Amino acid sequence: MISFSEIETTVKRATRSAGFPWGISEEVGKNIRLLEMFGLPGVKNINQYFKIYNVEKFEDINAFSRSNISKKHYCPIKAGVNFFDQSSTISDLGQLEINNLAFPLLFIPFVSRTSELIGKRIFLKMDNKEFLFNFNQSIYSNYLSGDIVERSEKINLQFLENKNSFSETEWSELYKISENTFVEESDELKEKAAGAGLTDND
């Protein structure tokens, strides 16, 4: 089995050979490693994308808005880099839509890393595929295939507000149980604490 480190290094070099700057190439190497770690087909998709990258003309998304539409397909790498760079302002939009994104799985790691950067979960729906990004720690998805995804006609992203998955009552009940571990202070402990840290040098 090829190691994640080797995957990252090879993808970084291949990305540079495809015409991307070294800085972006390093990010793509990390991204494909991340996809493979999460069980998503990163190598397959980046390999196929590079076969057509210099043949087809892909659009860029320079500044994201609520609706991002192009007649041609967007480049997932350049779109991802700009998405990550603009994360602080994009999250203020609450939600946004991207139409016509090429090889959308290559965009996925940028969203996952953005989730960690802004400290919010992000929900993404790609046609009939759903992804939930949890601070770059995990990706929950109904996409279980290892196939190449060449196009996505419509992507919806939603930035989720942080909130507890439990009620105040449930938390209070659990906290009350935890109080059984608290040590009750005796008079002896109080006397020891009162003189703690004092040294008589006379």
The pLDDT tens digits for 131-177 are 999 999 999 999 988 899 999 999 999 999 999 999 999 999 999 99
**Token pair of 131 as six digits:** 């992804």
| Beta strand extents in 76-196 (DSSP E only) | 95-102, 121-126, 129-134, 138-141, 151-160
State how far the Cα of 107 lies from the Cα of 28, in Å rounded to an integer.
Answer: 10
Under DSSP, the state recorded for 110 is H
Q: Which residue has the tokens 């602080």?
A: 88
pTM of the model: 0.85
Hey, how many other C-beta atoms are within 10 angstroms of the C-beta on 197? Answer: 5
State how far the Cα of 15 lies from the Cα of 28, in Å rounded to an integer.
Answer: 7
Number of H helices, E strands in the chain: 8, 6
- Give the Å distances, CA to CA, from 146 to 20, 35, 66, 82, 195: 26, 11, 30, 27, 66
Our CA dihedral for 30, 34, 37, 40, rounded to 10 degrees, sits at -130
**Token pair of 195 as six digits:** 């003189």
Under DSSP, the state recorded for 170 is H
pLDDT, one tens digit per residue, over 22-74 is 999 999 999 999 999 999 999 999 999 999 999 999 999 999 999 999 989 99
pLDDT, one tens digit per residue, over 80-126 is 999 999 999 999 999 999 999 999 999 999 999 999 999 999 999 99
Q: Label residue 183 by pLDDT band (50, 70, 90).
A: confident
